[in-house]
A and B are shown apart, each in its own frame.
Chain A
């Protein structure tokens, strides 16, 4: 026998597949891609095209209080979020109306308040750069720095105090800058732009990233020490097949998407546990968006693999479910019959919940017990944007 036998056996094996009509599914997926990069025919560019639909990630709020055990069932609500100094002297308000709270049905308690929400365009198909914006409910929207489209597609991160932004540019350089665009600094090259991008630790001292490996995929996980003069990197001993890093505010847990679901790791890459409820033929997720301060809950977009339209590799910051990371059970949210769009945990365990409200959106402040504290309509100027981060 020779390799002709292998050819014949492969052909026979290929005969097992059943031909199906993929036309409608293809068009649906095409519509959803929505963030296609400029077409290129080189192999390297194809890798990017495949991945450009890939990743973005959420930014964890700060937590300066002593860390809680990872399995602590709840955290004490810390008194109120600071009116953190506006980091952007050069920014301009673009919504002078002030977007006063509206539709509030609850009473704002002094211990639980909205943090600052960061927004970017939901679709950057037709732009090369876009403006990062921030908004605190009750205030005006503020324009921050301009970022390249690749940052919004996959990899930008806001520090837990909202003062700094990190991203990986199209040349695979890890870049940090102040939120107003000043102090821009390239701090590392050869960083994978899509898998993890740059994930800022809650104490703002470290950036988690993945090195770019040949031939274009993500390689080692590195924890870059921002306070060291040489920007030293501590490499994880393990290299899990995982992406979309999301920190818990206590700094003890990092949620990563793996296989069909989510796995929790320690900050050193040690595997903690797999979030139950995901399987090859059942529920799956590609995009973990936010993790509770103690790692007990996770917000993500959950899909049914049997739904026929699964498998789109596009990164998606929409959220349709909040799960208990130990039991996999869904956490009930007070949506009032509206469609859930996004959820971000704050450092006190409360949640900023974005819901569809008519042609626009509203954000709800929900405490860690699932009770709605307040509700505010988003300014119309944010209608075509998505929340990228919430910081206290």
Chain B
């Protein structure tokens, strides 16, 4: 096998699980997440001659993935409101048992689905990938100010669509 292709195969197989996790949060759907990662990886493959030397293949792939997701051509594939309403909030439970955790996760997923792709992207970058505002801005190709404002709007939107989450999260966001 071509050594370059072999390297790319190895890259795909080792990094796909992590990429899929981010893509799942961005899209809220297994198939759309696969679709997104596949599209980003395909672009990485086309640039592999250069990327495999630079060691930046994963950064490139992630950057491409985020841009694909927030660009209109992908956004139109993801309904603004995904199927499924927010689950009814549970009342009275203070102990986070398994069922409660599951309920919260469903609530969070449904709430994320009600955000715009850009808002989801900002939240995932800041709170899942733990990127700084500057890193998130670089990945999305926007200013730090835009990241700050989008983060605030995203959290406000989360609070609006899922008030029960507002009780759990500090919704003003963190600044780094």
Are B45's CB and A41's CB within 8 A? no
B interface size (C-beta, 8 A): 66
- Contact B72 A217, beta carbon cutoff 8 Å: yes
Tell me which residues from 8 to 50 in chain A have a Cβ below 8 Å from any Cβ of chain B: 9-23, 25-27, 29-30, 32-33, 36, 39, 41-44, 46-47, 49-50
A60 to B128, CA, bound (A): 47
- Given A7-B128, A22-B34, also A14-B168 (CB < 8 A): no
* Interface check A227, CB cutoff 8 A: no
Q: Which of A7, A19, A30, A280 contacts B127 (CB 8 A)?
A: A7
Partner of B108, one of A9, A46, A257: A9
Given A7-B128, A14-B21, A43-B63, A241 and B73 contact (CB-CB distance below 8 Å): no
Label chain B's interface by main secondary structure: helix
CB contacts under 8 Å to A, within B66-113, are 67-68, 70-77, 79, 101, 104-105, 108-109, 112
What residues of chain B lie closer than 8 Å to A42, measured between beta carbons? Answer: 141
Q: Does A260 contact B (CB under 8 A)?
A: yes
Interface size on A, residues (CB 8 A): 62
> B12: nearest residue on chain A (CB-CB)?
A23
Q: Assess A217 versus B71: contact at CB under 8 Å? Given A36-B43, A50-B43.
A: yes
Q: Cβ of B123: which chain A residues have Cβ within 8 Å of it?
A: 6, 10
Residues of chain A with a CB closer than 8 A to B112's CB:
13
Residues of A within 8 A of B146 (CB): 215
- Does B7 interact with chain A (Cβ within 8 Å)? no
How close is B127's CB to chain A, nearest CB, in angstroms? 5
> How far does the alpha carbon of A286 sit from the alpha carbon of B71 in the complex, in Å?
14
30 pairs, CB–CB < 8 Å, chain A vs chain B = A1-B169, A1-B170, A3-B169, A6-B123, A6-B169, A10-B25, A10-B127, A10-B128, A13-B24, A13-B25, A13-B105, A14-B25, A16-B105, A19-B17, A21-B12, A21-B13, A30-B45, A33-B42, A33-B46, A39-B47, A39-B50, A42-B141, A43-B139, A46-B63, A49-B64, A50-B73, A195-B72, A216-B141, A241-B72, A310-B35
B→A interface (CB under 8 Å) = 9, 12-13, 16-17, 20-25, 30-39, 41-43, 45-47, 50, 56, 60, 63-64, 67-68, 70-77, 79, 101, 104-105, 108-109, 112, 123-124, 127-128, 130, 138-142, 146, 167-170, 173-174
